[in-house]
Structure 1
């Protein structure tokens, strides 16, 4: 099955500053495109979208430009942004003009809940609709109601929920996560990304550990509104790329070839306009 990876992080410490990496343990090193590509292509990953890596704000635009040229496997970039800034419209104009910019993200899971509730933030985010550019929604499980309010406030914008809404997989904390996912999935302008959950699963996870979370996402959003992402290199905290690919494939093995194609590449190609 051909795979499009919608969530690849690359770290180039010789080019950019990553303030958060100082406290990130084993992740605090370079993660170049060549190493990922060598592993990914053996697993059927034929294309990837670079996901912004929360670089220093001064480096955001340069990170996006660099990612678009870094490796043939990287076919586009989801750029960092600051919708709360009055300068956002000009920033959007510059980046949207770049061939290969496929969406935007503003990290919310480490930000105050009030950030995405601001009128300027929401008004600026609505500017994405006319450009057909999605916004990746990265919130913690406890912030899912905050994320839902943002999605409701921008009904013309396509959202993609990152990392299944960051459930506590290690504790098997299915509730109230399941209820909040159902409520979010009731909104037609949001899709879900099956990614990231191995980092929250603990070091001894098995496919059975992940299964109820992946299956609930698919049941809630349906096969037309799910995409797949590696969350490389964050996944290396508890696994490797091959193990995550194999686990996902095992979980959806009972689905039809058409349904699997939607998850692994077709929906990504539509939502991100690849």
Structure 2
């Protein structure tokens, strides 16, 4: 069965534009590059990946596109543009000349203004994404789900995917509002969702049982046809490791049909990002 990791990162500290990444993050505060991931992919039976931005700079997107040129397993790159810049659409068009470039991800979770995504100044970029068939990764937390629903209603043709299930507060158990909001987005929009990042939200080395209710809720809301598996490696290393999260996902999808499993493992990501696998 084909497997695609729909969400992973690389970084090189000497590049100097990872503002969120400091020594206090310990295990993450070092270079993570294709050579470290390749053996994990081989052991997991993962053929291709989608490489996602980790810095608010176009230079990092260009760095990722160069990595894609040199790494056969990188099937797509989700980058970044300054959506408030007057030349944002021109930058988008320049990046899109590279066949690996699939879309963008603003780091919404780090923006103080919860409703930033609704600013009218962003309209030209959202329109350009739709017209060019490019994707929008929504890096949001539960507090962003209400404005995200407004955004998705405003742009019903936007190809959007919610990263990490919108990061439910699994560790604290304060997830009732998240559960309702995520269900509403799933029922009222065409957005997809990534089955990723949940281990990190659950604390240090969580067990399968602590994650299962949230995985089940995402599956119930989005269905197997709108859910895509991703590792969120190496951020995953804060709470577990690649083989562990893979085993959890395997256990979770085991009761599903083969068609449903293939959709979650690869088919949905392949279709959403227009990957050549």
TM-score of the pair, normalised by structure 1: 0.95
**C-alpha contact (below 8 Å) 2:21/2:29 kept by paired residues:** yes
Partner of residue 193, structure 2: 192
Displacement, 1:204? 4.1
Partner of residue 31, structure 1: 32
Give the number of aligned pairs: 273
**1:176 alignment partner, SS class:** helix
Displacement, 1:237? 0.6
Distance 2:194 2:238 in 1: 19
Alignment of 1:168-183 (within 5 A): 168-183=169-184
Partner of residue 95, structure 1: 95
Alignment of 1:9-28 (within 5 A): 9-22=9-22, 23-28=24-29
Instruction: List runs of 5+ in structure 1 lacking aligned partners.
Output: none
Displacement, 1:58? 5.5
Displacement, 1:61? 4.0
Distance 1:58 1:222 in 2: 34
Distance 2:179 2:9 in 1: 27
Stretches (4+) displaced over 4 A = none
Partner of residue 226, structure 2: 225
**1:25 alignment partner, SS class:** helix
**C-alpha contact (below 8 Å) 2:89/2:124 kept by paired residues:** no
**C-alpha contact (below 8 Å) 1:122/1:153 kept by paired residues:** no
**C-alpha contact (below 8 Å) 1:81/1:88 kept by paired residues:** yes
Partner of residue 161, structure 2: 160
Structure 2 residue 132 is matched with structure 1 residue 142? no
Instruction: List runs of 5+ in structure 2 lacking aligned partners.
Output: none
Residues 74/180 of structure 1: CA separation in 2 closer, same or farther (3 Å cut): same
Distance 1:227 1:108 in 2: 20
Partner of residue 265, structure 1: 266
**1:270 alignment partner, SS class:** helix
Residues 38/204 of structure 1: CA separation in 2 closer, same or farther (3 Å cut): closer
TM-score of the pair, normalised by structure 2: 0.94
Displacement, 1:49? 0.9
Residues 2/61 of structure 1: CA separation in 2 closer, same or farther (3 Å cut): closer
Distance 1:50 1:16 in 2: 19
Structure 2 residue 110 is matched with structure 1 residue 110? yes
**C-alpha contact (below 8 Å) 2:103/2:136 kept by paired residues:** yes
Distance 1:252 1:84 in 2: 40
Distance 1:32 1:47 in 2: 15
Distance 1:188 1:266 in 2: 20
Distance 2:129 2:67 in 1: 21
Distance 1:64 1:75 in 2: 11
**C-alpha contact (below 8 Å) 2:65/2:100 kept by paired residues:** no
Distance 1:58 1:128 in 2: 16
Displacement, 1:243? 0.3
